[in-house]
Chains A and B, each alone.
Chain A
Amino acid sequence: GQQLNQSPQSMFIQEGEDVSMNCTSSSIFNTWLWYKQDPGEGPVLLIALYKAGELTSNGRLTAQFGITRKDSFLNISASIPSDVGIYFCAGLDNNNDMRFGAGTRLTVKP
């Protein structure tokens, strides 16, 4: 099945900095989702995107559905220590299969 390439694999940032991460594929996706996973917990849905070009915010988080339908971006503004965790992208492909990226591990230094 189609693979999702998520980058970067990890990020170390200072509290207050902005963060950007992305997810790309060689194939078209119909829906993009962004999840956050805290240590020892399951992924929690942050943002869902349903059409190309869509830009959606959830507090300090903003995600975009790429215009080519092959990528998506997640930005976190003014990071705080509780933003620490692993961020996963997921996409629904043309076969209606959900694919997950390998995750971006975010560390925020106070």
Chain B
Amino acid sequence: NAGVTQTPKFRILKIGQSMTLQCTQDMNHNYMYWYRQDPGMGLKLIYYSVGAGITDKGEVPNGYNVSRSTTEDFPLRLELAAPSQTSVYFCASSYLGKVEQYFGPGTRLTVT
């Protein structure tokens, strides 16, 4: 199993551009999550999904959108990139009823 994979690994965006961060897991996990990691801070939850077709906002959802059309994929969309969205983004997944989350390698995004 590849686990949780994320693409791209790095990206530089100009202010106002849009992009989609891809996340795929092959562990048949029900739950999937998007976090952002800022220097010196704990991970902050952006959005999560408990299954295909169901998504919910986390702690810091503004400026982002998600969709979950399949169990495997959970893309994160930035519509109008802002410098405040410069961060490292992690996707994670977990099995229903389990708290242990498995993380992807991250996407480092810079908005200038």
- By a beta-carbon cutoff of 8 Å, the part of chain A in contact with chain B is 1, 4, 6, 9, 31, 33, 35, 40-45, 48, 88, 90, 92, 97-103
Contact = CB atoms under 8 A, between A and B. Distances in A.
A42 B99 contact: no
18 contacts: A6-B42, A33-B99, A33-B100, A33-B101, A42-B4, A42-B104, A42-B106, A43-B43, A43-B90, A43-B103, A45-B101, A48-B100, A90-B43, A98-B45, A100-B43, A101-B42, A102-B42, A103-B42
Given A1-B59, A92-B99, A98-B101, A42 B90 contact: yes
B40 interface: yes
Range for the number of chain B residues in contact with chain A: 10 to 19
B41 interface: yes
Nearest to A92: B99
Contacts of A102: 40-42
Contacts of A45: 100-102
B interface, by DSSP: helix, strand, loop or mixed?
loop
Contacts of A98: 45, 99, 101
Given A4-B42, A42-B103, A100-B42, 8 more contacts: A41-B106, A45-B101, A45-B102, A48-B99, A48-B100, A92-B99, A100-B44, A102-B40
B3 to A, nearest CB: 9
B16 interface: no
A6 B105 CA distance: 23
Interface of B: 4, 40-45, 59, 90, 92, 99-106
Contacts of A99: 42
Contact of B99 (A31, A40, A41, A43): A31
A88 B40 CA distance: 11
A44 B4 CA distance: 11
Contacts of B92: 42
Contacts of B42: 4, 6, 88, 99-103
Given A31-B99, A43-B90, A48-B99, A88 B43 contact: yes
